Structure 1
Amino acid sequence: MKAAPEDVPAPDPVTGGGSRKGAVGMAGRLRPWHSLWLLLLLGWTVSAADRAVTGPVVSWMIDNGVGFLADADNPHALGGLIGGLFFAGYMLTQFPGGYLGDRYGHRTLIVVSLLWAGIATIVTGFLGGLIAFIVVRVVTGLGEGAFYSNDRTLVTAATPPRDRSLAMGVVITGLAFGITIAIVGTPHFIDVGKWVLPDVEAWRMAFWILGVATLLVGLATTWYFRTHLQLRTVCLATAHLGAYAAVSLTLVMAVYVIGDRSGLSDLWIAVLEVALAAGLVLFALARKGEELGPVLKNRDLLLLYLANIAILWNLWFFSFWSVSIVAGAAHSSFASAALTAGFNAGAGILGFPAGGWLSDHGLRRGWSRKSIMLSCTAVQALLTVAFAWYLGAAAQPSLWVMGVLLFTASLFFNALQPVGHALTAELAPPDLRGSAFGMENLIGETGAVLSPAVGGVLRDSTGSWTAAVWLDAAIVAAGFCLLIGVRSRKSLPG
């Protein structure tokens, strides 16, 4: 399989796309790939906000005793399961999304993903029942799942190798913007909703505002990529992704309904959803093992895939529950807790590009990307341990202290991610990068599926968030151990 022609970067008319001179940084004149970075950053922003908004909305429902969480016996466990089911959908189209991007073109799949997510997020605001809410959240995740692998592949193809990690970091800064907007903005979106809706229904406005924003960015992306898009190809890609999504939705909801009617706990249902994803990985190995062997059987890539479980566990544990963690520890208002929790997400605005720059700079000085990832992970683990200890030791935790600890831990955590993305791009064959990124996120999303549910269960069973944060620190440490076994070069790729 060859990479889609649309994803081969056009050389700069003056210097040539792959030359060292053409890779002048952001301080020099703008290059064609810089506008692509900005567009994809906006895509990350709205996509991340759409998926992160569920956590603050669920926390608000629990605090105010409204919606389908009003009468739940274990509201945090149920709320965590809802978040986990979203990521069950999100993870199941990671690999198909990358595979289809390699086939139909990565720009095509990015457009399809953004438009799909925008429409589904708007629809979420019109639904109220538990099952309907879960279904549309899973559908949203299924569409958004196609974005990551195609974005990472397109950035890799369009950016000179010497700036590859910087590009990864700049673009994925949109993740930090989006999560921050969702966490800090949700109380205000709900206040806007109270102007036009009954107070108990005001949460719907958060989905409408963010859904419309996603749709607008999707339309802008369609216009920007218009010379690379063909209506027939877009329709074929949408139909093919839709077929994968229909099967995945059926499987995810079947597991949920059967588990719920069998009396299984919310945690066990989440575990079964992960088992479903593992089954699909084995299915991919059986059907396309020879074609995809270079990304499925590569030892170093496999270790990165597994380490990504710890990365996404930490990311979505704090993104989903940070407002509730801060509010419960400090006994503060929802708005104050959201603002403090925003430090965790906001750190990515600095951490992502800084990590990307440091990775490229370090590689030119003879460092390896692996050593940079290990250093960032070690510091993050120590700071997470400090946060867990503080939650358990302080009689009345301070909002300021929690904000500083969340910010500094997240700074190093976000810095390591673009380093890992660049390392994955270098280890994977160029014509299978979409599949490699898809498989990495499919396996990694195991952490995103389990962390909201496990965190919610531990909160309901212990009465505090301390145990859940200690578990997060242990999982980060396990990710560090996996990264030790990865082999990486100490020079720029060709």
Structure 2
Amino acid sequence: MRPWHTLWFLLLLGWTVSAADRAITGPIVTWMIDNGVGFLADAAHPHALGGLIGGLFFAGYMLTQFPGGYLGDRYGHRTLIVVSLLWAGVATLLTGFVGGLVAFIVVRVVTGLGEGAFYSNDRTLVTAATPERHRGLGMGVVITGLSFGITLAIVLTPYFVDAGKALLPDVDAWRMAFWILGAATLLVGVVLAVRFRAQLSWAASLRATLHLGGYAAVSLALVMAVYAVGDRAGLSTLWIALLEVGLAVGLVLFALGRKGAELGPVLKNRDLFLLYVVNIAILWNLWFFSFWSVSIVAGAAHSSFANAALTAGFNAGAGILGFPVGGWLSDHGLRHGWGRKPMMLAFTGVQAVLTVAFAWYLAAADEPSLWTMGALLFGASVFFNALQPVGHALTAELARPQMRGSAFGMENLIGETGAVLSPAISGVLRDATGGWQAAVWLDAGIVLAGFVVLSQVRQPRERATAPS
């Protein structure tokens, strides 16, 4: 086995537990709404509130994207990956012990702040350790863990809850999901720390943790201040989510003002910036379906929670095929002089068509079939997941090597705007219309907008014309 193959597997494990920790909130919120328990039992607009909880998690997650990449460039990318996983494991465990809406939101935001340091360092490490001819495949294989994690969180939530019922009162059964996943994340974090020990300096790890903790403390205070002010002023969940996005934009502008010369290659590169904007559509779609797919399927087909979770799992599970195949095809196209952009554009176009088909089917069918919904979700998700490693490899090629951690961090910081807004806005639409059709149509429109922006990206000239 090649050294980079071992690294791919370790990072895949990290993606799996990290994604499961993120995705578990959606199914748990759906279960709480359906069973009238917890802090959602008496909510006037439960889907809007549930969506805001998901959005606030991603508000925390997005605010450490750039600092995480920047600190990885400074302290070492393996160091930040280990810190991120151990942080997320502890915070996920704590989520199972909290009570009350505000405490739940605080711990979820803290979880997001820790997990935000993973993405930019993982992408940079794969780029540095993998031969260029296999870079797209490496990106795809590693991020397959995202699909594994989301699938496990969606499909296994009914079983986690049943396990909780055996030990806890029914109203607290949801806590077991966070305890199981938190323990799994800590285990993987320890495994990676042991495997990376030759490259880790514990003094540097401590400094990196404290440095990231400083960013996280300020970010937590800002996120919760925006939430408290908005809630006290009686603002809707939609306006609170928009204010959180405004907070992120303000921090980007602040960073640019403080480190404008240093960050110029990351923010002032036209094609990189367009890819950042495309990432908004990608992450909107990803976390719209990852957060609400169980509720969408259950509401449309009037099925049980378990059956809806299994059907929704087709959407997440498609990444197990789409991620590595998309990365491999990307490398194949590059070796033949096609470049990565045309393939990413083609995958995005097919995904858009299938997403429109899913929206039309929900609106037209009197009794939507679980099998048909599962097939459409699977088809759209295969192409959606295939385009992501292609985009990551393209970002690596457009960014300067010494700035890749910062570039990936900025890409996900801006892109996470979609993840912050998607659950919240979709939940508001669900409560306002009584169904999911409007939210799915909005998702399809955003995917099409991403296709248009992507068409304006110029791929690196020397790569696009490289001979076989």
Is TM (by shorter chain) over 0.5? yes
Report the counterpart of residue 481 of structure 1 in structure 2. Answer: 452
C-alpha displacement of 1:463: 0.4
Report the counterpart of residue 255 of structure 2 in structure 1. Answer: 284
Match among 351, 362, 367 for residue 322 of structure 2: 351
Alignment of structure 1 residues 127-206 onto 2, 5 Å: 127-206=98-177
Alignment of structure 1 residues 31-430 onto 2, 5 Å: 31-430=2-401
Rounded to whole Å, the distance in 1 between the matches of 2:380 and 2:296 is 15
Rounded to whole Å, the distance in 2 between the matches of 1:432 and 1:116 is 25
Report the counterpart of residue 20 of structure 1 in structure 2. Answer: none
SS of 1:332's partner is: coil
Change in Cα spacing, 1:492 to 1:157, as seen in structure 2 (3 Å) is farther
C-alpha displacement of 1:365: 1.3
Rounded to whole Å, the distance in 2 between the matches of 1:170 and 1:283 is 36
Contact 1:364/1:491, CA 8 A, preserved across alignment: no
SS of 1:228's partner is: coil
SS of 1:73's partner is: coil
SS of 2:198's partner is: helix
Rounded to whole Å, the distance in 2 between the matches of 1:159 and 1:181 is 28
Report the counterpart of residue 490 of structure 1 in structure 2. Answer: 464
Rounded to whole Å, the distance in 1 between the matches of 2:73 and 2:239 is 35
Structural RMSD (CA):
1.0
Summarize deviations over 1:402-456 as a string: whole Å, max 9, x none. 0000000000000000000000000000001000000000000000000000000
Q: TM-score, normalised to structure 2's length? A: 0.99
Change in Cα spacing, 1:321 to 1:298, as seen in structure 2 (3 Å) is same
C-alpha displacement of 1:54: 0.1
C-alpha displacement of 1:492: 5.9
Rounded to whole Å, the distance in 2 between the matches of 1:393 and 1:292 is 49
Contact 2:283/2:418, CA 8 A, preserved across alignment: yes
Contact 2:312/2:374, CA 8 A, preserved across alignment: yes
The aligned amino acid for 1:49 is A
Contact 1:161/1:492, CA 8 A, preserved across alignment: no
SS of 2:458's partner is: coil
Report the counterpart of residue 438 of structure 2 in structure 1. Answer: 467
Summarize deviations over 1:79-113 as a string: whole Å, max 9, x none. 00000000000000000000000000000000000
Aligned positions, number = 465
Contact 2:24/2:177, CA 8 A, preserved across alignment: yes
Rounded to whole Å, the distance in 2 between the matches of 1:292 and 1:453 is 31
**Structure 1 unmatched ranges of 5 or more:** 1-29
Contact 1:392/1:466, CA 8 A, preserved across alignment: yes
SS of 2:259's partner is: helix
Rounded to whole Å, the distance in 2 between the matches of 1:172 and 1:320 is 18
Summarize deviations over 1:279-323 as a string: whole Å, max 9, x none. 011011101110111111000000000000000000000000000
Rounded to whole Å, the distance in 1 between the matches of 2:333 and 2:199 is 35
Contact 2:17/2:185, CA 8 A, preserved across alignment: yes
Contact 2:336/2:466, CA 8 A, preserved across alignment: no
Rounded to whole Å, the distance in 1 between the matches of 2:179 and 2:331 is 39
Rounded to whole Å, the distance in 2 between the matches of 1:81 and 1:492 is 47
C-alpha displacement of 1:218: 0.1
The aligned amino acid for 1:490 is A
C-alpha displacement of 1:366: 1.6
Contact 1:162/1:492, CA 8 A, preserved across alignment: no
Rounded to whole Å, the distance in 1 between the matches of 2:131 and 2:295 is 42
Summarize deviations over 1:263-283 as a string: whole Å, max 9, x none. 000010000000000001101
SS of 2:9's partner is: helix
Rounded to whole Å, the distance in 1 between the matches of 2:92 and 2:272 is 33
Report the counterpart of residue 447 of structure 1 in structure 2. Answer: 418
C-alpha displacement of 1:231: 1.2
Q: Which runs of 4+ in 1 moved over 4 A?
A: none
The aligned amino acid for 1:377 is T
**Structure 2 unmatched ranges of 5 or more:** none
Rounded to whole Å, the distance in 1 between the matches of 2:465 and 2:144 is 25
Rounded to whole Å, the distance in 2 between the matches of 1:215 and 1:190 is 21
SS of 1:226's partner is: coil
SS of 1:97's partner is: helix
Summarize deviations over 1:158-184 as a string: whole Å, max 9, x none. 000000000000000000000000000
Rounded to whole Å, the distance in 1 between the matches of 2:182 and 2:368 is 35
Rounded to whole Å, the distance in 2 between the matches of 1:158 and 1:412 is 26
Summarize deviations over 1:386-413 as a string: whole Å, max 9, x none. 0000001000000000000000000000
Contact 1:52/1:320, CA 8 A, preserved across alignment: yes
Rounded to whole Å, the distance in 2 between the matches of 1:319 and 1:487 is 31
Contact 1:166/1:355, CA 8 A, preserved across alignment: yes
C-alpha displacement of 1:491: 4.9
The aligned amino acid for 2:311 is T
Rounded to whole Å, the distance in 1 between the matches of 2:99 and 2:139 is 38
Rounded to whole Å, the distance in 2 between the matches of 1:461 and 1:215 is 40
Summarize deviations over 1:136-164 as a string: whole Å, max 9, x none. 00000000000000000000000000000
Contact 2:17/2:181, CA 8 A, preserved across alignment: yes
The aligned amino acid for 1:45 is T
Identity %: 80
C-alpha displacement of 1:328: 0.1
Summarize deviations over 1:178-213 as a string: whole Å, max 9, x none. 000000010100000011000110000000000000
Q: TM-score, normalised to structure 1's length? A: 0.93
The aligned amino acid for 1:299 is R
Contact 2:51/2:425, CA 8 A, preserved across alignment: yes
Contact 1:310/1:475, CA 8 A, preserved across alignment: yes
Report the counterpart of residue 10 of structure 1 in structure 2. Answer: none
Rounded to whole Å, the distance in 2 between the matches of 1:423 and 1:372 is 11
